[in-house]
Structure 1
Amino acid sequence: MPATPASLLTGPGLPDGSAGIRLVVTDMDGTLLDDAKRIPEGLWPMLGELRRRGVLFSPASGRQYATLARQFAEAADGMVFIAENGTYVVRDGVELSSDPLDRSVVAGLARTVRRLVAGGVDVGAVVCGKRSAYVERTDEAFLAEVRQYYVEHRIVEDVTAVDDDVIKVALFDFGPAERSTAPALDAFSATHQVVVSGEHWVDVMNPTANKGAALRGLQRELGITPAQTMVFGDYLNDLEMLDAAEWSFAMAGAHPEVIRRARHLAPSNNDNGVLRTIARVLGIPEV
């Protein structure tokens, strides 16, 4: 078990061997992005410097592949996108791995959400396919949340009838998901991953699917070790990913369990923590 994280900027504890880092993987919301959901301006020159040094940069997010590809369009060549919490991994438009859900599970989740709504819970389901996300709710408040993470989405009458490989089902709860929607999914947690991925989001995936499993598969494919991997995260869906890297950083203000599991602590997402950490560890002048 890693020790309590040492402060990156003020304390000791960073391991030796930073020159051997070949892969940097970062969560998006609450980690790379600030609270206004903005990519730091300094990222683009940083990506150029990492590419020059032969270091691969990989966003790892609950967001869909199409959303990530659009956000990183100006630097996407050769970049590996770990999308949908690790259920869909793509490089240069080519699928590297995926982990689709059984249709019966999707149908069961849809029924559960419909029962919650009938009981007064303000929740909606996003059925995440490889080509698009699919929703039944049509109110603008819900769709505004969906658009932040799923640029490719369609409103359908029945989410269980879509013609697509479903890789994840995400539930958005306008209340605190950890206290309301997540407990209603206990029946699924015995056989599937039920992960609180944000204050209002719960993701359901196959038991074999998470960001860590996707990262380990990528490491095997590229011949990169945990000692050569740097990872940043802030929430519960990042835990397995942090375990796959010796250079694991929790953001200041991260979920307490994330801080406990990470080896080191980075400045917060609002303090440009990811870029400042990369710059310090790799000896790159901050821009």
Structure 2
Amino acid sequence: MTTSIETDQVHSPRPWTSLLQDSAVLAPVRLVACDMDGTLLEEDGSVPGPFWGMVRALQEKGIKFVPSSGRQLATLQHLFTPASGLSFVAENGAIVEADGDVVFRHTLDQSAVDQLIDRVRELQTEGTDAAVMVCGSDMAYMESTEAHHQAAAMPYYRHFTVVPDVKDVTTDVLKVAVYVGNAAAEMTDELRAVSGDACRTVHSAPHWVDVMNIDTNKGRGLQELMDIQGLDSSEVLAIGDFMNDVELLEVAGVACVVANAHPDLAAHADYVIPANTDHGVLQLLDRLLQVV
């Protein structure tokens, strides 16, 4: 099982050629947990065409493919409509669906939600290009009427609506997503201070910072799914590209990053595979199908 790397240790993932040569690493795999944006998906956000045949072949061999993303559950369900029988780790692990049923849900304290909304409004007043999205299980809510904020949300939130005041929304909140036009990475620390110790704050995409329950992450969601399905870490392979994938990689027995991944993610990976632009995930799935 992959473990956290201490900051004073030097760790580099092994190259793609090493994984190609060592079929014993892949032979036990029965579940593939894969990030979406920057990992599996094309640059335009679509699923690569050859994937659909591969996922059917994996299912025939008893291997589950689990999209694991910061995206909304409804967005993932729609994106993978052509494939049946999938499970999902959505909203960075705040909600997990297994075989059509929601089996895990982690909510955020309302006081933290309100504090974040207040801070984003202050940032807007100060001239920062920012917007706040309050994410429930079935719907996300945004109060910004700016076209570029809504356009930025569309790839991740299939079900979202604009409301006059997101504080008036009455729903259990899985996540607060904050759009930041510039310097989202730097804004992560500020929002972490605002949300407090009961929350987990991650830079989840170039313009997005996600705030969730402190115990929420993709790895926790994946572990819940593994427990339900009776899988050991040695039977799980995970693939990611961004810092919200750290725990996903740490839970898996085989942890891979794409070549275009955030440089700090390498410390948590066993192998580096080709970039998403080179269809690295498809190459890995093809190799997996050859050895199981």
Q: Which runs of 5+ in 2 are unaligned?
A: 6-10
Q: Secondary structure at the match of 2:85?
A: coil
1:187 aligns with 2:213: no
Counterpart position of 1:152: 159
Shift of 1:268: 0.3
Counterpart position of 1:36: 44
1:26 aligns with 2:31: no
Task: Give the conservation status (yes or no) of the 8 Å contact 2:191–2:201.
Answer: no
Residue 68 of structure 1 aligns with an amino acid whose one-letter code is: L
Match of 2:95 among 88, 93, 98: 88
Task: Give the conservation status (yes or no) of the 8 Å contact 1:19–1:282.
Answer: no
1:218 aligns with 2:222: no
CA separation in 2, counterparts of 1:22 and 1:96?
Answer: 20
CA separation in 1, counterparts of 2:158 and 2:194?
Answer: 30
Counterpart position of 1:228: 235
- Give a deviation string over 1:147-179, Cα, whole Å, max 9, x none: 111110011111122122210000111112012
Shift of 1:217: 1.1
Counterpart position of 1:101: 108
Shift of 1:191: 2.5
Report the CA distance shift for 1:88/1:174 in structure 2 as closer, same or farther (over 3 A).
same
Deviating beyond 6 angstroms after TM superposition, the runs of 4 or more aligned structure 1 residues are 10-13
Shift of 1:12: 7.4
With structure 1 as the length reference, what TM-score do the two structures score? 0.94
Q: Which runs of 5+ in 1 are unaligned?
A: none
Residue 137 of structure 1 aligns with an amino acid whose one-letter code is: S
CA separation in 2, counterparts of 1:199 and 1:224?
Answer: 33
Task: Give the conservation status (yes or no) of the 8 Å contact 1:251–1:259.
Answer: no
Counterpart position of 1:56: 64
- Give a deviation string over 1:17-75, Cα, whole Å, max 9, x none: 42221100100000001222121111000011001000011000010011000000111
Of 160-169 and 106-115, the range deviating more from structure 2: 160-169
Task: Give the conservation status (yes or no) of the 8 Å contact 2:34–2:68.
Answer: yes
Of 184-193 and 201-210, the range deviating more from structure 2: 184-193
1:273 aligns with 2:280: yes
- Root mean square deviation of aligned Cα: 1.9
What is the percent sequence identity of the aligned residues? 36
Residue 151 of structure 2 aligns with an amino acid whose one-letter code is: A
Report the CA distance shift for 1:189/1:267 in structure 2 as closer, same or farther (over 3 A).
farther
Match of 2:54 among 43, 46, 49: 46
Q: Secondary structure at the match of 1:194?
A: strand
Shift of 1:6: 1.2
Task: Give the conservation status (yes or no) of the 8 Å contact 2:133–2:177.
Answer: yes
Task: Give the conservation status (yes or no) of the 8 Å contact 1:6–1:13.
Answer: no
Counterpart position of 2:8: none
Counterpart position of 2:216: 209
Task: Give the conservation status (yes or no) of the 8 Å contact 2:19–2:25.
Answer: no
Alignment of 1:249-268 (within 5 A): 249-268=256-275
Task: Give the conservation status (yes or no) of the 8 Å contact 1:6–1:12.
Answer: no
CA separation in 2, counterparts of 1:272 and 1:118?
Answer: 42
Task: Give the total of aligned pairs.
Answer: 284
CA separation in 2, counterparts of 1:253 and 1:18?
Answer: 22
